[in-house]
Amino acid sequence: MELQQLEDEHLKPIVDKFTKYGNRSENISAAVYDSDWVDKSPEIRRLVYIMSSTVNRKLVYNAGPFNEVTVVTFIQIVKVTISFYRLMCTTTLSDSGS
């Protein structure tokens, strides 16, 4: 599989989903705060407070029990993966040409 094909079919959709869901989680918090809750009943204000404290947490992906994966670490992982893929392709081409 060519590197460009690998990027187009596998890496770009993963990166798009990674950033899309992270951005959506931030939008929920803003939408709750921007809602018209100030003039509502104490029960509604309490529910908005509970919801805002719940959705205020940042969406974080976990790499198993090891570490949190942020966008920065994910991009580093992708870069290292591409480097290893290129190395393996170069090594395979060098060995088959001998």
The answer to the question of residue 15 being in a domain is yes
Nearest Cα neighbor of 36 from 48, 24, 53 is 48
- Say what the pLDDT of residue 10 is: 72
Question: Can you give the pTM of this predicted structure?
Answer: 0.46
Distance, CA of 30 to CA of 34 (rounded, Å):
6
The answer to the question of residue 59 being in a domain is yes
The answer to the question of residue 98 being in a domain is no
CA dihedral 86, 87, 91, 97 (to 10 degrees): 30
- Say what the pLDDT of residue 53 is: 79
Please name every residue paired with 62 in a beta bridge, in sequence order, or none if there are none. 68
- Say what the pLDDT of residue 72 is: 78
pLDDT tens-digit profile of 60-71? 777 778 778 877
Burial call 31-40: b when 16+ CB within 10 Å, e when fewer: ebeeeebeee
pLDDT tens-digit profile of 4-54? 776 777 777 877 777 777 667 677 777 887 888 888 899 988 888 888 877
Q: 70 lies in which domain range?
A: 3-93
- Number of compact structural domains in the chain: 1
